[in-house]
């Protein structure tokens, strides 16, 4: 059985912006812009987030000038039936 799991594309957005700017994005600068800790940004990059707070999502979308669908998406994963 397949289940939809919410994932994010933060790492991809960071990499695309770094290529356009020809320089690295410091996670502390991104965290400061969004108003979160470096740990929170790292959790997002690793797709370890399970609670998507509106202010954080809005902050990332503002930083990358993107829409919600550019940041978040559903991935189908195989799960065992109980």
With 80 as the cut, is the pLDDT of residue 34 above it?
yes
Range of the domain at 65: 2-78
Burial 34-67 (b: 16+ CB within 10 A, else e): bebeeebbeebbeeebeeeeeebbebbbebbeee
Task: Report the pLDDT averaged over residues 9-35.
Answer: 97
**Count of the separate structural domains present in the chain:** 1
Contact 72, 57 (CB under 8 A): yes
- For residue 32, give the CATH number of its domain: 1.10.260.40
The residues near 48 (Cβ < 8 Å, ≥ 6 apart) are none
Contact 74, 2 (CB under 8 A): no
Q: What is the pLDDT, as a whole number, of residue 1?
A: 87
Task: Report the pLDDT averaged over residues 60-64.
Answer: 98
């Amino acid at each position: 059985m397949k289940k939809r799991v919410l994932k994010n594309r933060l790492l991809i957005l960071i990499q695309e912006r770094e290529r356009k700017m020809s320089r690295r994005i410091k996670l502390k600068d991104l965290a400061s812009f969004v108003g979160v800790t470096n740990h929170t940004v790292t959790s997002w990059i690793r797709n370890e987030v399970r609670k998507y707070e509106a202010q954080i999502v809005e902050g990332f979308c503002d930083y990358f000038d993107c829409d919600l669908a550019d940041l978040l998406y559903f991935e189908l994963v195989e799960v065992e039936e109980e």
